[in-house]
Structure 1
Amino acid sequence: MTSVVKSLDWDLIIRLRDGDESAFRVVFDQYSQKIYGVAYQFLKNREQSKEVVQETLLRLWEHRLQLNSEYPLAPWLFTIARRVTLNMLRQTATSQAARKKLWLTMHPEHNDTEEAILSADLERITSQVLNTLPLQQQMVFRLSRFEGLTYEEIAARMQISVHTVKYHLTGALKTLRACFDKTEILLPVFFLTLFY
């Protein structure tokens, strides 16, 4: 059995090194769910786990010329997936720590009037900016940030691809960032209110 697996890996690796996209598709079909499962065990997040799969397979394609046909493909893939997962865990921890630190450095005392004014300003400016966006971009942003839907859920509801959802959300966020850079309201405050 191991010689059959080794023979299949040998063939796949040779084809990958030759730039054969159909071989890459075979690897994707054979390993993507397994890589996703490993990543999800640690991350407990669907989007991040999918990113691990994409990053792992992207690295496979980018480094295909360095593959050694004497060694099986699975250990190489899972080593890369483990590294990508650990990096993502570190980034998440750092990001969460930074958000927490930012939140703690803001005024600890509560001023209800000031908070109400700031909140009203944020809502007013956000609404004004959102209304200038193309309709589909507005809808994607509202479904993502206000209703908390995942990329897949938005894609299904709007009958568009996940890639299109990401494209529209990126565009909306760029526009909002640009507008908030021009205002006197702190950008971190805006993003904290969006994500909490």
Structure 2
Amino acid sequence: MNSYHSLTDIELTSLLKGGDYNAFNEIYNRFQGLLFIYACKITKDNDEAEDIVQEVFLYLWDKRLSIKLHSTISSYLYSAVRYKFFNLLDHKKIRTDYRVSFQHFLNLGENITDNYIREKEFNTLIEKEISALPDKMREVFELSRKLNLSRKEISAQLNISEKTVKNQINSALKILRKRLGLFAFLILLLNR
């Protein structure tokens, strides 16, 4: 076995391309500490720096037979650390963007759902109270509020006086205000 310590980077790279595990170990021992320091400087996080360096060396070993180096092994390794760091930043940004977007969707969805449920409950309550009105009063009220007919149109359609129409609508509104409470009553008037 040769002494791999005395080999140059170029010789080690050549042996690595031939699948020599001892050459890989020498490259690892020679550059791991320096790459870790470099990764710490750019990530500001020891754990992330260690992960990046390990991934770079795993990749180097996996691709040892097909790797194309356009410069020295040290340049390649430093570039690979930088690439992994930017890749990590992209993933963090995507995760953060996704988390923010998802939280916004949840908040918005929750508000929409709550509002929809409340609106349905109010409408159900209002419809229930309208249906409990005396028949003639309910008919006049529904023609006025749901079909938006004028007093004159209701009077002609039901063959009653406009004054009766007015009295029926006012009586219906008083009854509904009492039964529904002010808040639901205002909703009824606003949805007119």
**If the length of structure 1 is used for normalisation, what is the TM-score?**
0.46
**If the length of structure 2 is used for normalisation, what is the TM-score?**
0.47
Q: Which has the larger radius of gyration?
A: 2
